Amino acid sequence: MNLLLTGGMGYIGSHTAVALTLAGHRVVLYDNLSNSAQVMAERLERITGVSPLFVSGDVRDTDRLCHTLRHHAIETVIHFAGLKVVGESLEIPLDYYANNVQGSISLLQAMHVAGTRALVFSSSANVYGEPRYLPVDECHPTGVTNPYGRTKLHVEEILHDLARSDPAWRIVCLRYFNPVGAHESGLIGEHPQGLPNNLMPYIARVATGELAELQVFGNDYPTPDGTGVRDFIHVMDLAEGHACAVAYLNAHPGWQVINLGTGQGYSVLEMIRAFEVASGRPVPYRIAPRRPGDSASCYANPEKAHRLLNWTARRTLAQMCATTWAFQSGMGTEGPA
């Protein structure tokens, strides 16, 4: 199948490109490189043996998207492109609405004109807000608390309206929990610019010695060891979930929202210990105040993904840490991607 991956040069998009290429699909990566680099294409070729088709462009450029969809006879789009940092979205909300909401509308307009009606959308567990019960299933009420989460929820609602308006549309919104890890080659992975906001990339840079210590945001939560608990999911499991969603879309019109998580929560302290074992390096940390807006615990009920997509996450916490370390420790020779 011919697939367009907007934001396909980024962290999740690149790993999904590997999974889809190895499954025999032809992928076109459409990206403005605002948070990725051209070298990614070469890395993908080294992993898959196939040179990926890359189109440099912004998702707000409807004409360029339309041309790309037609030129490559795209049958399904996976829409990763967007901005994703919760804290930043509070500072520059307009950029978030422009990239994430306006960008999605532009893509949908292009798809409408080009006659492409199948879409997988990258949503987030962020739309649930503070969990009211655990594990979080798709019936859990939404409760966004920041502009980033609101952009995701707005787009989900737009997609739902679109599916209701025209039965030809096939749409799956995937709500990711906490993607971590890297491809087992160590060639691609997550490389945030500047100081990492998320736990795993921060731990990885403390382990290399680039950063002195990790701040553990709160140890007085109502969790077994007092630190926050999250549903960390290996990015290659997540990538394979997209391949399953594409197969599902082939056979099912309409709109679905589906969690992609493992169903298993790990605490911040458990993550630190697992990373120390995987890397053989110490991860010094100190307890700091809670981070505003954080919840104590959040993990998925992944049953719907299993039922509809026949997908289950299978990689372990040890694999999440080992692959992150392989990528992080190899960057001195390879450079970031």
Q: Is the N-terminal amide bond of 147 cis, ω within 30° of 0? A: no
Question: What DSSP string describes 92-113?
Answer: -HHHHIIIIIIHHHHHHHHHHH
Residue type, 28: V
Q: Of 3, 4, 5, 10, which one interacts with ligand NAD (CB under 6 A)?
A: 10
- Contact between 9 and ligand NAD (CB under 6 A)? yes
Q: Considering only residues 64-123, where is the footprint of ligand NAD by CB under 6 A? A: 80-82, 84, 99, 103, 122
Q: With CA atoms as reference, report the closest residue to 100 among 194, 41, 34.
A: 34
177 binds ligand UFG (CB under 6 A): yes
Q: Report the alpha-carbon distance of residue 289 to residue 263 in Å, rounded.
A: 27
Kindly state whether residue 189 participates in binding ligand NAD, applying the rule CB under 6 A.
no
What whole-number distance in Å separates Cα of residue 159 and Cα of residue 171? 7
Annotation marks residue 148 as catalytic: yes
Catalytic one among 11, 128, 148, 202? 148
CB of 17 to ligand UFG, least distance (A): 20
End-to-end Cα distance, the chain: 26
* Interface pick for ligand NAD out of 19, 47, 54, 58 (rule CB under 6 A): 58
Q: In sequence order, what DSSP letters do the residues of 250-310 get, joined into one string?
A: HH--EEEEEEE--S--EEHHHHHHHHHHHHSS---EEEEPPPTT--SEE-B--HHIIIII-
All residues at 6 or more sequence positions from 292 whose CB lies less than 8 Å from its CB, including other chains: none
- The answer to whether the beta carbons of residues 65 and 30 sit under 8 Å apart is yes
User: Nearest to ligand UFG by Cβ — which residue?
Assistant: 228
Q: Which one of ligand NAD, ligand UFG, none is in contact with 80 (Cβ closer than 5 to 8 A by kind)?
A: ligand NAD
- Determine, following the binding rule CB under 6 A, whether residue 62 of this chain makes contact with ligand NAD: no
179 binds ligand NAD per the rule CB under 6 A:
yes
97 binding ligand UFG? (CB under 6 A): no
Residues 122-141, one symbol each (x = binds ligand UFG by CB under 6 A, - = not), give --xxx---------------
Q: State which residue, 176 or 299, has the beta carbon closest to ligand NAD.
A: 176
How far is the C-alpha of 36 from the C-alpha of 61, rounded, in Å?
18
- Would you count residue 54 as binding ligand NAD (CB under 6 A)? no
Contact criterion met (CB below 8 Å) for 271 and 232: yes
Q: How far is the CB of 267 from ligand NAD (least distance, A)?
A: 18
User: From ligand UFG, ligand NAD, none, which one binds at residue 268 (CB under 5 to 8 Å depending on kind)?
Assistant: ligand UFG
Catalytic residues: 148
Binding site for ligand NAD (CB under 6 A): 6-7, 9-13, 31-36, 58-60, 80-82, 84, 99, 103, 122, 124, 176, 179
